[in-house]
A and B are shown apart, each in its own frame.
Chain A
Amino acid sequence: MRAKSWQACAAAAVLSLGSSRLSAHHSFGAEYDGSAPVTVTGVVTRIEWTNPHAFIYLDVSDKDGKVASWKFEGYPPGVLQRLGWKRDRTMKIGDRITIFGWRARDGSNWAHSREITLPSGEKMMFGPPAGTGDGGSTPAVEVR
């Protein structure tokens, strides 16, 4: 189940700057590796529009037709709505989409989502930047 056997590839270097420069919500940076960008294309099988975070499940086929399920975590529903997402309208079960994000630290088919490319080609943010919630680049105190 290596990433390269799926339709997954490392994102452009420009998007993999800084593994943990930012901090924000519950620690995405603890569960997901900000230095392991991943871009996955697949078919939406399930969307959990739940708090504190939404989840998207994708069926992803490799070149031999073997299918694996991927899970992506994102912003809470209220945040998504204010960013322009319409539940059950912007993205539907069965849609073929591409998600850019960062892979789980345990190497499983689980990732923190950032940007989604919809069937129309439109790109929308579904989650925060890499390392979110892990404390950012510097601690709040002076390191002595």
Chain B
Amino acid sequence: MRPAVLAAALALASLPVVASPAQSGARREPVPRTPDGKPDLTGVWQGGSTVRGTWEEANRGTGLGGSGKDPNAPSILSSNDRPGDRQPAPYQDWAAKKVLESFNRRGIDDPTSRCLPAGVPRSVMLGLFPQKIVQTPKEIVVLYEYMNAYRVIPLNAEHPDDLLPSYMGDSVGHWEGDTLVVDVIGFNDRTWLAGTGTFHSEALHVTERYTRVDKDRIDYEVTMEDPNVFTRPWTLRSSLMLREGTRLQEYICAENNSDPAEYERLLKEGVKIRRD
């Protein structure tokens, strides 16, 4: 056996074995690829999770929502959790005060409490709802159950020069090796990024990197730049887990949304909501 072939054989033999609660002992399966050789990201995914298996396997027991730091809480991130190492976001002093004020008001000014789209990257990193990626050679479409939002990501294209500010921004993508890099601009200033009060301006520029590392997992890295509110770029890392068999449901948030009226009533009646 030639050395190169031997090395390849040894490398194959030493592929890591998955140790997951859902699929104990199962071997990591390779990344599916499209006919043109690119990683195929098509599928239904759950953000904010590292757990392998079907939706039912990964989320049974304690349900969803939470940072995982409370022993009674589920480990799957919901729609307002900050992933990663919990380092402070690099807001300028005046902007940090504004973020803190939202935190002290317990998030009652969350745009999603008025059923507005969750924006980017919040829509990608939340775990309460699935998202579906549909990949074609020329564009990638992502459908988010949360707020029935979607993104169309043309590949190897330029941003239009007449963008109107929007909740989900304008996305263009390209492949860097096996990583899909998505550039997003054209945002309005009405979404939160990752965590209570994490506002931004219309100057927000988001760069996302999607790397499917095996069949079950996409590593997700996002860098947010906004010179109007940040002192430096803010980078977070998370992952998307494949949820085979999961269907997207309709989510019409305005159907029976009582939250803003309730917040207003409680405040009017003098009920203490604010943190001490």
A, B bound: yes
Assess whether A22 is in contact with B56, with CB atoms less than 8 Å apart: no
The reply to whether the CB of B140 lies closer than 8 angstroms to some CB of chain A is: no
Task: With CB as the reference atom, state the residue of chain A lying closest to B195.
Answer: A140
Q: Which residues, 81 to 128 on B, are CB-close (under 8 Å) to A?
A: 81-82, 86, 88-89, 91, 93, 96, 99-100, 102-103, 105-108, 110, 112-113, 115, 128
Assess whether B67 is in contact with A31, with CB atoms less than 8 Å apart: no
Q: Which residues, 217 to 276 on B, are CB-close (under 8 Å) to A?
A: 246, 249-253, 255-257, 259, 262-263, 266, 269, 271-273, 275
A26 contacts which chain B residues (CB < 8 A)? 110, 112-113, 259
Majority secondary structure, A binding face: loop
B65 contacts which chain A residues (CB < 8 A)? 22, 24-25, 128-129, 132
The reply to whether the CB of B198 lies closer than 8 angstroms to some CB of chain A is: yes
Q: Which residues, 45 to 68 on B, are CB-close (under 8 Å) to A?
A: 55-56, 59-60, 62-67
The reply to whether the CB of B24 lies closer than 8 angstroms to some CB of chain A is: no
The reply to whether the CB of B171 lies closer than 8 angstroms to some CB of chain A is: no
A129 contacts which chain B residues (CB < 8 A)? 65-66, 70, 72-74
- Determine, out of A13-21, A56-64, A88-96, the stretch whose residues face the partner at the interface: A13-21
Assess whether A133 is in contact with B129, with CB atoms less than 8 Å apart: no
* Cβ proximity bits A36-63 to B, threshold 8 Å, 1 near / 0 not: 0000000000001011110100000000
The reply to whether the CB of A1 lies closer than 8 angstroms to some CB of chain B is: no
What distance in Å separates the Cβ of B158 from its nearest Cβ neighbour in chain A? Answer: 33
A50 to B78, CA, bound (A): 19
What distance in Å separates the Cβ of A60 from its nearest Cβ neighbour in chain B? Answer: 21
